[in-house]
Amino acid sequence: MNKASLIACHECDLLQSETPLVEGGTGRCQRCGVFLYRYQSVPTAHDRTLAFTLAAAILFVVANRFPIFGLWVNGTLVEATLFGAASALYADGMWPIAGLVFVTTILMPSLNILAVIYLLLPLHTGGFPHRPEIILRVLRHVAPWGMIEVLMLGMLVALVKLQHIATVVPGVAIWAFGAVMVLLAAAAATFNPRDIWARIDALQGEGGVPHALQASAAAVTAARAGLFVCHDCGLLSKPLFADTHAGVCPRCGAVLHRRKPNSLARTWAFLFAAMILYIPAILLPVMVTSTLLGTQSDTILSGVVYLWTSGSWSLATIVFIASVVVPMLKLLSLVFLAWSTQLRSPLIPHKRTRIYRVVEFVGRWSMLDIYVITILVAFVQFGSIATIDAGPGSLAFGAVVVLTMFAALSFDPRLIWDAVESESE
């Protein structure tokens, strides 16, 4: 079995043969069912991805240049861009939240767009990008932190709340962000990094990467076969020295480990910090509204109640799920995964792996309330008449979202299946 046909699942470490696919087909792991690869696209697919990404880049500039929407107050139109909204939080002393908003809605999507253009534009013109392995590695680590789709939902929730204060006029940016969201989703669906890695292999030739990896019939997993699997490029490789637990990928240069170093320890550390901060995140006010009639502090739950009583039942349900149910279930699910893996339990590995995938997917949606607060703080600044400021609960809640995402990224799902392997011996 050669390198081209031997692959290892990045979630259960199972060694298996790569199966040729029909156009539009996808390959999944035979044991845990996770997505592994899709049909190797024809060259024109890169052109489609490039077209989607270039369009997204243009509209992303428009979205950040023009106001999200306008607010008519006493004959005056109040407008703000996304960057201006983050700047308002920074000026209010909430620089951690301002930085989080800037990174997840401006910086990371920008890096994502630029990385794809850097990779695909030379291919379109007949060339090849310089050091593509570095850009592909950056792209993999940047992708989870770009949250344009969550921002769009946050804008809609903020728009509903602002309608009860003054007349809201949707701006150019909100439509541009919606288009960017669709275009980036289309680009992600058509982008196939495996094709670029295959071209890197072709350019590196026989001396670039190992081409004769053999695994015995008894070697069910890459770890048992003494192989490393690179999570950045997917390459299987042998360590330079036997019985070593670390190495360097010969194709992309990433540091390799049989399992993520100190995976459970880091997962528990992030989880404990998130659980401690979850209490003030729920109990402390996330927004403080000051008017001529007095000051009102709103927690996450009171915000949900406000949307429900104002008739926006669907948005109230979405906010409740994203801001209350999802963080709680994430914490409970990660505790269950870490605890059962710590005990090396061989029970229900398929269900535990699916739980991990769900946690990893839904983690970003808890940022919804942070984006709503950002927009409201930017627009409702009317001096002594009415102002909205971010409360201390928003700091705790933002920290909970980030910590639970780090906990999910630190957890190594292959440890679930290691216990199954030990049980079967």
Burial class from Cβ neighbours inside 10 Å (0-12, 13-18, 19+) for residue 230 reads: buried
Q: Could you tell me if residue 103 is inside a domain?
A: yes
Q: For the residues of 21-65, what is the DSSP string, one character each?
A: --TT-EEE-TTT--EEEE----HHHHHHHHHHHHHHHHHHHHHHH
Q: Could you tell me if residue 83 is inside a domain?
A: yes
Q: Could you tell me if residue 19 is inside a domain?
A: yes
For residues 348 and 273, membership in a common domain is answered with: yes
CA distance 341 to 352: 10
For residues 404 and 277, membership in a common domain is answered with: yes
Instruction: Output the tens digit of pLDDT for each of the chain's 425 residues.
Output: 344 468 888 888 888 888 877 777 788 888 888 888 877 665 667 889 999 999 999 999 999 999 998 888 777 777 889 999 899 888 888 899 999 999 999 999 999 999 999 999 988 888 888 888 889 888 988 988 999 999 999 898 888 888 877 788 888 999 999 999 999 999 998 888 877 887 777 766 544 444 445 544 445 888 888 888 888 888 888 876 656 667 788 888 888 888 889 999 999 999 999 999 999 998 898 887 776 666 777 788 887 887 788 777 887 888 888 888 888 999 999 999 999 999 999 899 999 999 999 998 888 888 988 998 888 888 877 665 667 788 899 999 999 999 999 999 999 999 999 888 765 55
For residues 177 and 64, membership in a common domain is answered with: yes
0.85 exceeded by the pTM?
yes
| CA-derived radius of gyration, the chain | 24
Q: Could you tell me if residue 399 is inside a domain?
A: yes
Q: Could you tell me if residue 246 is inside a domain?
A: yes
For residues 185 and 213, membership in a common domain is answered with: no
For residues 244 and 291, membership in a common domain is answered with: no
Which of 250, 281, 316 is the C-terminal boundary of a domain? Answer: 250
Q: How many CB atoms lie within 10 A of CB 75?
A: 5
Q: Could you tell me if residue 256 is inside a domain?
A: no
If one counts the domains in the chain, the total is: 3
For residues 30 and 154, membership in a common domain is answered with: no
